[in-house]
Structure formats: structure tokens, C-alpha cells
Structure 1
């Protein structure tokens, strides 16, 4: 992997005293930088496209929600756009799975907290569309933060039902994402994805298979019933693991009531 270094001009302009190297990620490179003894996530955006604009819009719209990173500054620097964002101390769920395996109350607690962070986002008619362990970071105090709203969508946005490939992460995707049924995507898509995360955290496995082909075959069966070995996890997962989104909880409160704390 090729290491990436910030330019001397960028370090000087933002008065960065220290930084951690980052690797490139498509049109975005992220460094963890120190400015005036405070850590930030500094994102270098090569092309300020609609994904960038959407992520900024959502983060700003829900400024004050402690479960969504705060954007401190947006600035043009040369040909790039720079975002200076709150740095979330902690680890993401993909690094913490062993802490949750077999601990149903802990799994339910983190899923409930993540869902409450997303509740106002869902109420505003957005869907995240890429909920997965790497996109949920846990602060030192145990509270989750939802990351990467870059592929989130407003449900009244025509492009969500337009042509083209819809982005998703296949191990944690819903049937409608897997099948490319764009018109079926809603916040109930996020419900399904949170069910997969809960099952994964409790069992350290995936509910519908380890490969795309296995998951695809599982999704051909409309009866997506799982047995995690725990009643609370089963109630939640089987409440949201419905092939047809219309069969999942219609109201956010009904969804939250499936999570047994």
C-alpha cells in the first residue's frame, strides 16, 4: 500500500503540528491531524461531487446530534476541498466484535443507541444505506457515532429510483439493495441492515452466508428466519428480517420496541 503524505503547504496553512498517515480512498483521503493540541479528521476531497455535498448537508442539518460527527470547517485549498471534522476517539464495531459475542444485553444496547441517533435522520426522510460495523464508531464512554453519510439519500430524491448501480456493502445489505430494487429502499432498509449487525455482533458470523452467492441464494427464500441462540436477538432480527420491506416495522417506534433492553 502506498503511503500518503500531506503537502508542506497544507500543513502550514492549517497549522498542523502532527498527523497520522492515511491511505487513499477513491476521491477522498483522510488524515488524523493535531491543531492547537486538538485532534481532528482532515478530509481532502479531490472532486466535490454530490456525495460530498450530501454528507456535508446531513452532518450540518443534524449538528447537535452527538452521534453524528461535527464539521468544524470547509475550505478550498488549491484544487481540493478540505473538511475539518470532529475526530471520534475510539474504535469502530468491526474492531470490537469480540467484546459483543454472546452478550445480548450489550448488543441490544449499542443497536438501540445507534438507532436513536438515526431516528431524527429517518424522520427527516433520509436513509443511510451503508450501515455496517466500520461505520459505527464507539467513543471511549461507550456511546456510538454513525459515520459516512456519503451514500445516504433523501427518500424524495428522484435519483434514488433512477437508473444506475446503487451503492451498498454486500455482507450487510438488505434484499432490495442486493436485488437492485431501488424503489423499495426506505429507512426500513436501514432496519434490516441493523439486524445483520446485531446478529454479527452476537454470533461473530453473518446470518445469510459468507459469500455473495450464499447470500443471494438465502434471499431467494422469502422466509428469512434465523436462530442466533438468544431470544432477544432472535426477536429483533426476525422482526426486521423480512424480504419485503412492507412487512418490516412501519413506524420507527415499533422498530425500536423490537430491541429488548
Structure 2
């Protein structure tokens, strides 16, 4: 949504901002789509300061700048107690805004999920978990290729996280049971597999499999019985069955198995 904030004169001069095209209020941060020194870019200002979450996310992007399909940092500027981040501009639409274009189109959904798996595969191999895969965090470029964004709450299995104990952050509508039920020890790459299954189901049927409210979804999770309905001829049934499972051990073990399940 549009944000009621503007860049300071100092920031405009520092970044050589020639024009601000759009401004968004993205919860934890404001994002300005602008032209800087003749190039499109995304300028980010953090509402509540530059804390541990923001620092970890930037370090993740910088370490993985060689990977395709994630944002790239162009510059970081400390300025009067703030940290201003300039990212490359990703020309596309959030999947959450265009999800209706995928309705009942198994082939299109399979192609998209395959693309997301290809992006995430080296990240999972590095023992990292996104933990917040959802349509709002997937940008679809004009070519149809996805970009995965917002790694602010990723889990690094090699390190402690900013949410080491207790509540585990999630978006309830696309979160796995181990997130909603705060079973931290069960959060692995297969937590992201579950979210991909929910995304695929949502795109195909234009509804969530376990209810339309947090209370309904949480009730299903607490019961341990994740029963959902599909059409017999849905080409994604095999994929649903290996990803949308309450028991982590019953989900696909590898990305190869995930991708094979997307083949009609």
C-alpha cells in the first residue's frame, strides 16, 4: 500500500535520486521504487531501526549474491542513525497480486514451483530455511520466472537464530505445523516444502486447504490430521501428497522427489 512518508533531502542527495516512482509500506520497512543515477532501484528504510533481523537478512543477500532468483544489494549507507539499503529493482508483480492467473492451471503452477525449488535448492543445501514462503514473498517477472524475497526470518541450522526459543515466526496461512505449534526442533528444509505445497494448492483452487481463518487452520494443526479435498483429476495431487503432510518424515526427502512429483 502507498506509504505516507518521503525521503529526506539528504538521502535524495546521497543516493542521487532523480525520481521516486512508487512508495510502499511493507510492515517492517518502507520501500521506495526510484531512479538513482539513471537506474531503477529499490530504496529501503527500516521503521524500527536496523536490528538483528535486518542485519542477518543483508548478510544473507551479500553472502549469496552469486545465486539467481534472490534480491541483490547495490549499496548500504549509514545516515544520521539510520541504515539505508539500496537493492536492485525487480520488475514484476507479487504472486499474491496475480494468483488468479494460475487458477486450475497445473502446468503453469508446476513450472513456477520448479523455479522456486531451483532458487531454494542451494540455500537448503547450505542448511538454511526460509520459513516464510508465501505468495507475497514471491515476485513474478514478466518472463514468468520467480524471485524469492524477504529472508528476514530465515533459519540457519549452523547458528542460533533471532527466535531461538518459544514462538516461531510464520504467516499462518502458509506455515507448516511445526511453525504454528512452535516445535522448533522439527523446522528444516522440509518446512519450506510444506509451504510450497500450500502455495500450489492455493494457486490451483484459489483457497487454502485447511480453512480461511487462523483459528480454523490452527485447529487442524493441533488435531494432527491434515485432511484436505482435491479433484481426482488434479495434476498436482502427487505433489500435494508428498508436501502437505503433518509428519515431517512423511514429506519428500529431496528436491529431486519434489520436482518429480510435479511431472503429470
| Counterpart position of 1:99 | 101
Give the deviation of 1:82 after TM superposition.
1.1
Where do 5+ consecutive residues of structure 1 fail to align? none
| Counterpart position of 1:170 | 172
Structure-to-structure mapping, 1:153-232, within 5 angstroms? 153-159=155-161, 162-229=164-231, 230-232=233-235
1:74–1:82 Cα contact (<8 Å) kept = yes
Query: Using the alignment, how far apart are the partners of 1:73 and 1:179 within structure 2?
Result: 38
1:69–1:85 Cα contact (<8 Å) kept = yes
Specify which of 239, 244, 249 is matched with residue 246 of structure 1.
249
Give the deviation of 1:184 after TM superposition.
0.7
Q: What is the TM-score of this pair, normalised by structure 1?
A: 0.94
1:100–1:107 Cα contact (<8 Å) kept = yes
| Counterpart position of 1:235 | 238
1:225–1:241 Cα contact (<8 Å) kept = no
**Which sits farther off after the overlay, 95-104 or 13-22?**
13-22
Q: What is the TM-score of this pair, normalised by structure 2?
A: 0.92
Given the superposition, is the C-alpha separation of residues 79 and 140 from structure 1 closer, same or farther in structure 2, using an over 3 Å criterion? same
| Counterpart position of 1:135 | 137
Given the superposition, is the C-alpha separation of residues 211 and 27 from structure 1 closer, same or farther in structure 2, using an over 3 Å criterion? closer
Q: Partner of 2:143: helix, strand, or coil?
A: coil
Query: Using the alignment, how far apart are the partners of 1:172 and 1:21 within structure 2?
Result: 28
2:41–2:89 Cα contact (<8 Å) kept = yes
Query: Using the alignment, how far apart are the partners of 1:160 and 1:18 within structure 2?
Result: 36
**Which sits farther off after the overlay, 23-32 or 110-119?**
23-32
What is the CA RMSD across the aligned residues, in angstroms? 1.8
Instruction: Give a deviation string over 1:194-248, Cα, whole Å, max 9, x none.
Output: 0000000111100111011111222234342433324321110111111111221
Given the superposition, is the C-alpha separation of residues 57 and 173 from structure 1 closer, same or farther in structure 2, using an over 3 Å criterion? same
Structure-to-structure mapping, 1:10-49, within 5 angstroms? 10-45=11-46, 46-49=48-51
Query: Using the alignment, how far apart are the partners of 1:123 and 1:73 within structure 2?
Result: 27
Where do 5+ consecutive residues of structure 2 fail to align? none
2:127–2:158 Cα contact (<8 Å) kept = yes
Give the deviation of 1:163 after TM superposition.
2.1
Instruction: Give a deviation string over 1:80-137, Cα, whole Å, max 9, x none.
Output: 1111101111101111111100110001110110111000000000000000001000
1:90–1:137 Cα contact (<8 Å) kept = yes
**Which sits farther off after the overlay, 4-13 or 15-24?**
15-24
